[in-house]
């Protein structure tokens, strides 16, 4: 009986245990089911959010697309002269802020101003090219517009205009000007690099961008000075004047060093500024960095370091130099997305509405005045130098001349402007006049070479055009073709008796490209080359004529410096006169020949022999 009772009790306990286990299993299953449901719910939530966000994005994209198209249509209507824009920026003083303009009115205002103030003839100054691009300034999803307009006869005057469409109106927010030998790179988010050569051994860059309001934000200027003999801050950028004995002379050498400096105050040229003004406003806060030819950091001498410390001049290594510029970009709100955006893709706008035949004389206006559709004559660089075409006989016997040194005085090196004012001669640039004809230099290479020359008669009508791009490089170029340092250009021209005389040279050492620095003569009646002079007779900015002679000059660091007298009929070197330094400019003052060299000013009397 007891056994049965114990057995029954044991079975009851087992049953209860089983029931509990089943209950727990059911609870666990139920819990697991609930957890699975919660997990499924949790997993579905992001999907629902994604779908919801996607729907929002669709609405946003739909709205953005509508806004963009409306803005694009407005910009293109502006280009076609169908709508006006409002000037909402301080631009050129002949453009009125707050005034509405059509593109035609705007372009003609520029042309009229240059003709009136710049002294251009209406035959020579007009719009030569126009192109545009849609951009997103500040990367905020709104569409802005940049228009590039090129003026002059060969596009010497260039402007980029930035427009914003807001509340149904087009606003001109900013302009950026650059001359022919400078360059402006614009990316699709409004980041810009403006650059150009500031001389034979200086290259300058300005970095800025346009924010989401299409307002220009200045970042910094950076300059590179190439080939100085030692790591030093150039004299003109310090408070030490050239008369100071404690600061060494600025000297340049092929094996020298590279100097980089960044400026964070935007430079505005003021002709009334003294050297001290420029130093206090722009130079004293610059940061410098020195490198050798291989990009390795260099240090100034202990003597210079002491001067820099006393003067507060800051110099750093390459890594810190880049960090300082990067910190400046962050401080001014530039983001990597804006900076790293691709460059704009330009669309030609020359054939759109307002840009058809603007200001260009056509038809009856040109009758009897030559052709405005003049095509350049290509001159091949296939002749041995020196060269003389024997079929050209001298029209009369060459009359030799005598050059006698009247004076030689040491100059102040940086006092060129005083010499220009005293002599009335200034650097030629890309347009100059020989008293009768006007010469215009142009070219297409990215480094700014000038190898196309256009000749205009006394009426301002183009009569000759020659393409000497084949003379840009030579086979003896030991630095390799397409090297910026051996890239030859036309620098000076003169017309006499239907003969065109041109100088061609590059600014570097003869050993890198010995076939350099010569004058050639073209018969403009036949387009044939009459002669090419000896190499290395000219790298002066210009040459002059006296009777049957052409006088020019050549010199360079570690090379001999001379004045050369050439026979204008054959190109033969008749005389060479040694100079103390390389000649830069030649001009007549009265009956005397004045020659400006790097550090000496010469005066010569000149007469027939």
CA distance 235 to 240: 6
Return the pLDDT at 134.
Answer: 94
Main-chain phi, psi angles of 587, to 5 degrees: -160, 160
Return the pLDDT at 121.
Answer: 63
DSSP state, residue 343: B
Quickly state the pLDDT bin for 275 (edges 50, 70, 90). Answer: confident
Write down the domain spans for the chain.
59-179+345-363, 191-340, 370-608
Identify the burial level of 48 via C-beta atoms within 10 angstroms of its C-beta, where 0-12 means exposed, 13-18 middle and 19 or more buried: exposed
Does residue 212 register a pLDDT over 60?
yes
Does residue 499 register a pLDDT over 90?
yes
DSSP state, residue 136: -
Return the pLDDT at 362.
Answer: 34
- Note the pLDDT tens digit of each residue in 127-139: 878 899 999 999 9
Contact indicator for 578, 561 with CB cutoff of 8 Å: yes
Main-chain phi, psi angles of 387, to 5 degrees: -140, 145
Return the pLDDT at 210.
Answer: 96
Q: Considering the chain, what percentage of its residues have pLDDT values greater than 70?
A: 76
Contact indicator for 583, 595 with CB cutoff of 8 Å: yes
pLDDT mean across residues, the chain: 80
- Note the pLDDT tens digit of each residue in 530-589: 999 999 999 999 999 999 999 999 998 778 899 999 999 999 999 999 999 999 999 999
Total number of residues shown for the chain: 609
- 3 state SS of 310: helix
Return the pLDDT at 52.
Answer: 45
CA distance 457 to 368: 12
Q: Does pTM surpass 0.75? A: no
- Note the pLDDT tens digit of each residue in 442-479: 875 444 568 889 998 887 778 999 999 888 876 554 44
Return the pLDDT at 349.
Answer: 82
SS (HEC) of 402-445? EEEEEEEEECCCCCHHHHHHHHCCCCCCCEEECCCCEEEEECCC
Return the pLDDT at 457.
Answer: 84
- Note the pLDDT tens digit of each residue in 138-168: 999 999 999 999 887 555 688 999 999 999 9
> What residues are paired with 213 via a beta bridge?
none
Reference 227, options 199, 194, 196; nearest CA is 199
Does residue 340 register a pLDDT over 60?
yes
Quickly state the pLDDT bin for 240 (edges 50, 70, 90). Answer: low
CA distance 532 to 521: 7
- Enter the tokens of residue 24: 């727990």
What mean pLDDT comes out for the span 401-429?
A: 93
**Buried/exposed 430-465: b ≥16 CB within 10 Å, e otherwise:** bbbebeebbbbbbbeeeebbbbbbbbbeeeebbbbb
User: Which tops the pLDDT comparison, 492 or 449?
Assistant: 492
Q: Give the helix/strand (H/E) hosting 51.
A: helix 2-79
Q: What is the largest CA-CA distance in the chain?
A: 160
User: Which tops the pLDDT comparison, 518 or 254?
Assistant: 518
Say if strands 100-101 and 314-315 run parallel, antiparallel, or are unpaired: unpaired
Q: Give the helix/strand (H/E) hosting 305.
A: helix 302-311
Return the pLDDT at 324.
Answer: 95
Cis omega (within 30 of 0) for bond into 386: yes
- Enter the tokens of residue 37: 């449901």
Quickly state the pLDDT bin for 198 (edges 50, 70, 90). Answer: low
CA distance 358 to 111: 10
CA distance 256 to 351: 50
109 Cβ contact partners less than 8 Å away, ≥ 6 residues apart: 94, 95, 101
- 3 state SS of 507: coil
- Alpha-helical regions (H) of 130-222: none
Return the pLDDT at 8.
Answer: 36
Quickly state the pLDDT bin for 185 (edges 50, 70, 90). Answer: very high
- 3 state SS of 182: strand
Quickly state the pLDDT bin for 35 (edges 50, 70, 90). Answer: very low
Reference 262, options 293, 295, 297, 288; nearest CA is 288
Task: Tell me the CATH number for domain 370-608.
Answer: 2.40.128.630
First to last CA, the chain: 160
- Note the pLDDT tens digit of each residue in 421-442: 999 999 988 888 888 899 988 8
CA distance 485 to 286: 27
Does residue 492 register a pLDDT over 50?
yes
Return the pLDDT at 7.
Answer: 35
Quickly state the pLDDT bin for 58 (edges 50, 70, 90). Answer: very low
Contact indicator for 219, 328 with CB cutoff of 8 Å: yes
Does residue 317 register a pLDDT over 70?
yes
Return the pLDDT at 425.
Answer: 93
> What residues are paired with 184 via a beta bridge?
194
**Buried/exposed 233-244: b ≥16 CB within 10 Å, e otherwise:** bbbebbbbeeee
């Amino acid at each position: 009986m007891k056994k049965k009772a114990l057995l029954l009790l044991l079975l009851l306990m087992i049953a209860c245990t089983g029931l509990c286990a089943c209950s727990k299993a059911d609870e666990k299953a139920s819990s697991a089911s609930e957890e699975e449901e919660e997990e499924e719910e949790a997993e579905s939530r992001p999907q629902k959010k994604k779908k919801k966000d996607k729907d929002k994005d669709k609405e946003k994209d739909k709205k953005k697309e509508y806004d963009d198209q409306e803005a694009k249509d407005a910009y293109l209507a502006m280009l076609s002269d169908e709508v006006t824009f409002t000037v909402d920026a301080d631009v050129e003083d002949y453009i009125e802020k707050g005034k509405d303009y059509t593109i035609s009115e705007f372009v003609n205002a520029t042309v009229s101003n240059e003709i009136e103030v710049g002294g251009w003839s209406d035959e020579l100054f007009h719009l030569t090219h126009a192109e545009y691009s849609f951009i997103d300034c500040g990367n905020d999803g709104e569409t802005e517009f940049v228009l590039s307009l090129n003026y002059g006869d060969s596009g010497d005057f260039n402007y980029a205009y930035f427009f914003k469409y807001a509340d149904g109106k087009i606003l001109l927010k900013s302009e950026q000007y650059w001359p022919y030998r400078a360059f402006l790179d614009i990316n699709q988010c409004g980041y810009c690099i403006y650059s150009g050569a500031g001389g034979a051994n200086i290259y300058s860059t300005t970095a800025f961008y346009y924010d989401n309001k299409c307002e220009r934000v200045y970042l910094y200027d950076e300059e590179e000075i190439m080939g100085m003999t030692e790591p030093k801050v150039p004299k003109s950028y310090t408070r030490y004047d050239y008369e100071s004995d404690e600061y060494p002379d600025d000297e340049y050498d092929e094996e020298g060093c590279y100097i980089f400096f960044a400026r964070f105050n935007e430079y505005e040229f003021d002709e009334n500024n003294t050297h001290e003004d420029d130093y206090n406003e722009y130079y004293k806060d610059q940061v410098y960095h020195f490198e050798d030819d291989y990009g390795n950091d260099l240090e100034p001498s202990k003597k210079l370091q002491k001067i820099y410390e006393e003067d507060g001049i800051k110099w750093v290594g390459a890594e810190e130099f880049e960090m300082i510029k990067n910190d400046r970009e962050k401080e001014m709100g530039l983001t990597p997305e804006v900076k790293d955006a691709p460059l704009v893709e330009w669309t030609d706008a020359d054939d759109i509405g307002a840009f058809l035949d603007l200001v260009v004389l056509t038809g009856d206006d040109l009758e009897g005045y030559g052709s405005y559709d003049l095509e350049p004559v290509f001159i091949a660089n296939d002749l041995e130098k020196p060269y003389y075409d024997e079929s050209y006989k001298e029209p009369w016997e060459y009359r030799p001349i005598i050059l006698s040194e009247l004076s030689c005085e040491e100059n102040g090196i940086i006092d060129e402007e005083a010499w220009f004012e005293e002599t009335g001669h200034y650097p030629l640039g890309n347009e100059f006049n020989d008293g009768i004809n006007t010469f215009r230099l142009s070219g297409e290479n990215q480094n700014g070479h000038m190898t196309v020359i256009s000749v205009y008669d006394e009426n301002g009508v183009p009569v000759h055009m020659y393409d000497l791009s084949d003379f840009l490089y030579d086979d003896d170029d030991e630095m390799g073709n397409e090297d910026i340092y051996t890239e030859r250009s036309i620098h000076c021209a003169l017309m006499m008796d239907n003969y065109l005389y041109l100088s061609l040279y590059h600014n570097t050492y003869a050993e890198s490209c010995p076939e350099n620095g010569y004058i050639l003569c073209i018969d403009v009646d036949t387009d044939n080359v009459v002669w090419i002079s000896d190499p290395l007779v000219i790298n002066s900015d210009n040459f002059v004529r006296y009777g049957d002679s052409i006088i020019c000059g050549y010199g360079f660091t570690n090379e001999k410096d001379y004045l050369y007298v050439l026979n204008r009929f054959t190109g033969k070197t008749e005389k060479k006169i040694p100079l103390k330094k390389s000649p830069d400019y030649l001009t007549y003052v009265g009956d005397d020949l004045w020659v400006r060299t790097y550090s000496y000013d010469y005066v010569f009397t000149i007469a027939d022999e």
